[in-house]
């Protein structure tokens, strides 16, 4: 499994040290919240730029923002490798957002909230590199895993082979060893974990436990 630690619950007063505590994971998950699409506000592209000065991991940026089309370039220029936007947040055209991301030469991710029907993503599947299934209501870390995510992952896994698509299936929210195993068995490729990793002193070990679920 690919592990993407979400440092949402990290100590931002010593961010470089916190990021250095997860260097054994190939990816790092940035949770960007604007206080509009979700109630909380976290950080903007300047954090991506800061972290890029001391990390060469894959920057997996999760935009929980209204009208993501307005900020894509900021995150691409700051060093994002994967930019995931929310289907529900686009005010113009989802296809236009996808093409804009391709023009910016970043990998394209699309995500949806737990209450949004997965079938709505079908038209976009051949054009994206990653689908992020939210297994919690976006907006904060430390929530309990929503089992309804399993059915969505299984649907995506089936569609992926039916349509001969290559997208990765990423799952985000309430991931630990047991929920990680559940979603892996359903077809997931990437696990986002925040509290499971950052609540531990030995983060390397927490990441290894998830890699081998
Ligand atoms: C929630 C974020 C998730 C969350 C994961 O809006 O997208 O990445 O921080 O945190 P845990 O693993 O603690 O649920
Ligand atoms: Zn996230």
155-201 residue pLDDT tens: 999 999 999 999 999 999 999 999 999 999 999 999 999 999 999 99
- The angle at the Cα of 29, spanning 101 to 130, to the nearest 5 degrees, equals 45
Beta-carbon neighbours within 5 Å of ion ligand 2: 31, 62, 172
- The angle at the Cα of 169, spanning 41 to 94, to the nearest 5 degrees, equals 60
State percent of the chain over pLDDT 70: 100
53 burial class (0-12, 13-18, 19+ CB within 10 angstroms)? exposed
Mean pLDDT of the chain: 97
Residues in Cβ contact with 4 at an 8 Å cutoff, skipping those fewer than 6 apart: 25, 27, 28, 29, 58, 60, 170, 190, 191, 192, 193
Strands (E), 87-184: 107-112, 130-134, 168-172
| 172 flagged as catalytic | yes
- In contact, 143 and 133? CB cutoff 8 Å: no
* Closest listed ligand to the CA of 84: 2
Tell me the mean pLDDT in the region 19-45.
97
Ligand 1 pocket, residue 193 CB under 6 Å: yes
73 burial class (0-12, 13-18, 19+ CB within 10 angstroms)? middle
Tell me the mean pLDDT in the region 101-128.
98
- Rounded to whole angstroms, how far apart are CA atoms 55 and 80? 12
For 130-155, how does the pLDDT look when each residue is reduced to its tens digit (9 = 90+)?
999 999 999 999 999 999 999 999 99
pLDDT at residue 152, as a whole number: 98
Enumerate the domain spans of the chain.
Answer: 2-211
Ligand 1 pocket, residue 142 CB under 6 Å: yes
Ligand 1 pocket, residue 176 CB under 6 Å: no
Residue 9 reports pLDDT greater than 90: no
CATH number, span 2-211 = 3.20.20.70
Ligand 1 atom closest to Cα of 38?
6
Dihedral over Cα of 107, 10, 141, 182: its sign: positive
- Rounded to whole angstroms, how far apart are CA atoms 32 and 35? 10
User: Catalytic one among 11, 31, 74, 81?
Assistant: 31
């Amino acid at each position: 499994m690919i592990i993407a630690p979400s440092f949402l619950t990290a100590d931002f007063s010593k961010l470089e040290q916190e990021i250095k505590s997860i260097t054994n994971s190939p990816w790092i998950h940035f949770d960007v919240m604007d206080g509009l699409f979700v109630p909380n506000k976290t950080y903007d592209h300047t954090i991506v730029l800061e972290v890029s000065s001391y990390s060469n991991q894959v920057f997996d940026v999760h935009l929980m923002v209204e009208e993501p089309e307005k900020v894509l370039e900021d995150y691409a220029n700051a060093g994002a490798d994967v930019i995931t936007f929310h289907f529900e947040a686009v005010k113009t055209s989802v296809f236009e957002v996808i093409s804009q991301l391709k023009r910016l030469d970043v990998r394209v991710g699309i995500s949806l909230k737990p209450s949004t029907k997965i079938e709505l993503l079908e038209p976009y599947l051949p054009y994206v590199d990653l689908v992020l299934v939210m297994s919690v209501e976006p907006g904060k870390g430390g929530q309990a895993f929503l089992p309804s995510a399993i059915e969505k992952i299984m649907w995506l896994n089936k569609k992926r082979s039916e349509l001969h698509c290559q997208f990765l299936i990423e799952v985000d929210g309430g991931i630990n060893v047991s929920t990680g195993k559940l979603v892996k068995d359903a077809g997931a490729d990437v696990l986002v974990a925040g509290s499971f990793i950052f609540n531990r002193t030995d983060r390397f070990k927490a990441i290894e436990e998830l890699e081998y679920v």
